[in-house]
Amino acid sequence: MENNQFQKPIIYSLSLFLGLALLGYFIFKGFKTFSDKDRIVTVKGLAEMNMKANGSSISIGFSFSGDDLQEVINATEKKKKAILTFLKKSGYSSKDIQESNLNVTDHEKYYENQWVNGSEVQVKIDRYVIAQNIEINFENVQETEARASDITLDLVSNDLTSKVTTSYTFPELNTIKPKLIAESTKNARISGEQFANDSQATLGKIKTASQGQITIAGEYYYGDESGSNSEVPKEPYMRKARVVSTIVFFLE
């Protein structure tokens, strides 16, 4: 009996001590967590990636105009056949050549007002304009520009002068987007860790993060490259994708 009476006060005292210790610990953690909420760092992470075209094409465009529709159609058809014959003799495969439909414009009015020597006068214009394109597809994108130059010169020398242009197709942006964002996040963390080390702190978890708009730049394509000192690709078959992510880290 006496031992039980003696043990009870000790147990109560230990329980009270442990309770107060735990209460003090949680109060300390609460105050620390509250104060740590104000200890943050905002950093930006830049990521850039070059994109190479996965296809290209050369477009050969020509047109004829006149008041007699059938004559204009015949002239267009004649030139189209001559260009196709030239391309096949030059080694281009029929499966890589595509013909567009005829684009016919009918000017219902034979005259239009134009300014001549400071005066507005009516000028006779052709009623019908017919345009057509022949497109050649390429897989070797690096040779496209050279091929286009050769075709232009050969057409001129064969009295088949036409407007020759090039275009390129690129991989879908979604194919590189995950890697681009991961790289920008990684670079942001590196900047954050450097700041934390300089502040004698430890970089914590991410508080908030926002991804900037992905921009594209190239010789014939210009996105929002403000704030970037990176070089824009000069080759027409290359593009540069760029993104800046803004991340807020906790500092511990």
**Dist CA 249 CA 209 (whole Å):** 9
**Dist CA 100 CA 231 (whole Å):** 37
The reported pLDDT for the residue numbered 211 is 83
CA 192 to chain centre: 27
Do residue 161 and residue 71 come from a single domain? Answer: yes
3-state helix, strand, coil in the chain (%, to 5): 40, 35, 25
Do residue 198 and residue 237 come from a single domain? Answer: yes
**pLDDT tens digits for 143-191?**
999 999 999 999 999 999 999 999 999 999 889 999 999 999 999 999 9
Among 143, 169, 195, residue at a domain's last position: 169
Do residue 252 and residue 174 come from a single domain? Answer: yes
| Mean pLDDT rounded to a whole number for the chain | 83
Do residue 49 and residue 174 come from a single domain? Answer: yes
| Structural domain that includes position 224 | 40-54+170-252
**pLDDT tens digits for 152-165?**
999 999 999 999 99
Number of domains making up the chain:
3
Do residue 91 and residue 75 come from a single domain? Answer: yes
CATH of the domain at 187: 3.30.110.170
The model's confidence at residue 236, banded by pLDDT at 50, 70 and 90, is very high
**Dist CA 183 CA 48 (whole Å):** 8
